[in-house]
Each structure stands twice: as structure tokens, then as C-alpha cells.
Amino acid sequence: MRIVLAVGGGIAAYKSAEVARLLVKAGHEVQAVLTASAQEFIRPLTFSTLTGKKVITELFSESSYVEHIEVAREHDLLLIAPATAGILARLANGHADDFLSTMYLAFTGNVVLAPSMNDNMWSHPATQANLALLESRGAKIVSPGDGFLACGTTGPGRLAEPEDIVAAITPKSDLEGETILITAGPTQEPIDPVRYLSNRSSGKMGYALAEAALNRGAKVILVSGPVNLKPPAKAEVIAVRTAVEMRDAVFAHLEGATIIVKCAAVADYRVANVSQQKIKKTAARLSLEFDPTPDILAELGRKKGDRVLIGFAAETENLKQEAERKLESKNCDMIVANLAAAVESDTNEVMLALRTGETISLPRASKREVAEKIFDQVLKLRLAMSAHGD
Ligand code: C5P
């Protein structure tokens, strides 16, 4: 691939020299770009030596062609590592005040951002809003890790390891041949012709799983409750409203599925006597009676065969115990547990409870990144299960 490696001005800039070395070693053609602040931390000579190419350090040069447009046109991928808070803000707002921000606007290929900054700067709503905006426009984020930061504090903000950054830009096709059935979003249980009961699930986690799976070569069947999201173009989408409709759609598509991810926030109860007419307002107290809905995941647990079955658990307390209990009681291979507060968010912090007895806590990251890690674990689990003849 032809890659622009742009380096921002943060202490982690020294690590991007290793990123450049690994990219060149993997056979990529690398054009390094250093912002003015990056040059306070690391010299262009380091990158020109590693990449064998003159490094771009400013917007205006004496050359006869319009360099920021040419560079944008000639490269397939723009990787920014470290992406500082300032770079994220400038890109999110479309500023064009240096080589990187100007070239970014002209760039039509894939963009990968590896942010790094102080933990408070990272958590600031402005930074998180900029990141969410850039991600919604298609940028892939390689989230920082947790650890000791140069400013003396410990927390999220440390640049991802160079190997992980390079792995993130390497296309995978490790889900080729799989048919993945994903449920997403809430269900709506009618009360009368105009009212319903539902929950705050946004569907973002399930849609991120669908995108990640498609990107890794899988066929995806997405059974979706009502959400405000555009489904990935290549997914087969089945739109449902109620828990019963979701159950029917899932079992109608179970046959060909090899992996099932039950990400949807299914209502546990539905109104027993749905009124055929709109319920009138009176001064009296109104009671509704509920019947339990079918537990789709539990039924899948009984009928799964050798499919990999993944359930979700959104809890307000006792995350680990609840995840382990559901793993067992619903006969799943993995439970992805998160705090209920994550439902509407763009990021998620989850714990994976696996059939092997292992539990893995993942650091807070975008839902897309969490999706990638879930599938990494599914593939490992499959290997472990076949080794045990499970
Ligand atoms: O037991 P609990 O409802 O918390 O378990 C959550 C998991 O079960 C999720 O994976 C959800 O999709 C699934 N579920 C289901 N059918 C229901 C309720 C929950 O498949 N009626």
C-alpha cells in the first residue's frame, strides 16, 4: 500500500519512527509528514532514513506541483500517529492551515487515527466529540491504551503499540466463509395502536459488529429492531419491531449461520392485552399486565449445535457474576458484559466471559474497535473448542 504516515507533536512521536520501520518492513511505501510541533520532538532525518523518502514538513515548498493535492491523490491510506488533541480538532472542523490538515481535506482514501495525549485531554468532551465525528465520517480509530503518561499521571492516553497500529491497517479476511447472524437495537412492544414500551438501546454496538464482520469477509444477516442508523450496504437486513418478530426472524435464518451474536436489547415483557383502540385518558390509575417474551438467547443455547453463540449482558451491578451466570444458564460460548450506561454511547468498555473459564476486560474504545476484539476472541475460542473436541 502507499501510505502517508503523519506524525503529530506529542511525546509519543518517537514511537512513530517504529511504526514507519514496521510499515516499510511489511512492504509498504511510506511518505512521512511531520507537523511543525512534531519537529520539536523528532527530526525529519529519522523518517527520511527509515522510509528512503524526503519528509514533508511544510505546506508551501518551491516545487512546481501542488504537493498537498498530489500526495492526497497518490496514496491509499492516511495514518496519523500520534494524532494529538489539536490535530483531531482541526480535522473535525475542516481547518486547512498546515500541510496535514489541508491534505486531509483533499484525501479520499482510508484514514486511520492513533490518538495520544494526557488522560484529561483524552476524556474531555470536546476531544471525544471530535473523535466521534471523525469516526462517523469513516476514520478508523486505534484507541490509546491505559498506562503511565509522560505528564506523570496514569490513565488512558498512551499511544497504542506500534505493532497494534500496523495490525489495525492490515486488512483481515479471517471471517471469510462464516455466516454471522447479528441482532441489534431495541424491541418495541405495543400497548395500543400508537404507544409502545421500549428501551434506550441505539443499535450502535450491533451495527459496529456487522461492519467489522463484513470487513473481515463474513456474510452478515442483521436482524434489527427500530434504530436511527444506516445499515452496512452489504448486510442482509431484516427489520423487526417486537421480541416475537425478532425470535421468528432469528430462527428463520439459523440454519446457515455459523456464529450468532445476540446484541439486541430485547424486551423481557410484553403487554398481555394490547388494546385495539387508543387508550383514553381518565382520572383513574391505569394498570397494564405483562407476559414474559420468549428468551431468544436461551432457546438458541438449546438449539445451537456447534455454532458459536455470543450473548450480551447490560448490567447496573455485579458485572462479572452476572456474565458468568448468563454464560452458564443460556449455554453461550461468550457473554459480552457492559454497564447499562453504555447503551447510547459511541464507546464501550466491556468484559468478555468465555466458555473456557477465562474473563477478559477490554479497555474503553470505540464500538467498532470493541467489535474487532470480540471477533478476535471468537476465532481463538473456536480453536480452543475444536482442540478440546467441544
Ligand atoms: O438475561 P438478559 O435479558 O439480561 O440477557 C441478555 C441477553 O439475552 C442479550 O444477549 C439479549 O439479546 C438476550 N435476550 C434474548 N431474548 C430475550 C431477552 C434477552 O435473546 N427475551
11-26 confidence digits (pLDDT tens): 999 999 999 999 999 9
Q: Which helix (H) or strand (E) holds 269?
A: strand 269-271
Domain of 144? 2-168
Among the three residues 127, 146, 168, which one is the final residue of a domain in this structure? 168
Q: Which residues line ligand 1 (CB under 6 A)?
A: 243, 262, 264, 266, 268, 293-297, 311-313, 326
Average pLDDT, rounded, for the chain: 94
Distance 371 CA to ligand 1 centre (A): 18
Helix boundaries (H) for 137-234? 162-169, 204-215
Residue 173 is assigned to a structural domain of this protein: no
The DSSP secondary structure of 51-108, one letter per residue, reads HSSPPB--S--S-SS-HHHHHHHH-SEEEEEEE-HHHHHHHHHT---SHHHHHHHH--
Residue 105 is assigned to a structural domain of this protein: yes
Ligand 1: which atom is nearest the Cα of residue 300? 20
The DSSP secondary structure of 22-62, one letter per residue, reads HHHHTT-EEEEEE-TTHHHHS-HHHHHHHHSSPPB--S--S
Distance 315 CA to ligand 1 centre (A): 12
- Selection from 235, 245, 228 nearest residue 214 by Cα: 235
**Closest Cα to atom 5 of ligand 1:** 313
Can you read off the three cell numbers belonging to residue 350? 466491556
Can you read off the three cell numbers belonging to residue 316? 447496573
Q: Left (φ > 0), alpha (ψ -120 to 50) or beta: where does 357 sit?
A: left
User: Which tens digit of pLDDT belongs to each residue from 106-144?
Assistant: 999 999 999 999 999 999 999 999 999 999 898 999 999
pTM score of the predicted model: 0.81
Which amino acid would we find at residue 51?
A: T
Name the active-site residue from 1, 22, 132, 151: 151
pLDDT, greater one: 384 or 353: 353
Output phi, psi for 307, to 5 deg: -70, 150
Let me know whether 124 and 207 are in one domain: no
Distance 266 CA to ligand 1 centre (A): 6
Q: Is the pLDDT of residue 375 over 70?
A: yes
Domain count, the chain: 2
Residue 174 is assigned to a structural domain of this protein: no
State the CATH number of the domain containing residue 292: 3.40.50.10300
Let me know whether 251 and 382 are in one domain: yes
- Report the distance separating Cα 160 and Cα 145, nearest Å: 6
Reply yes or no on whether 151 is catalytic.
yes
Let me know whether 138 and 191 are in one domain: no
- pLDDT recorded at residue 62: 65
Distance 296 CA to ligand 1 centre (A): 7
Let me know whether 12 and 71 are in one domain: yes
Let me know whether 223 and 76 are in one domain: no
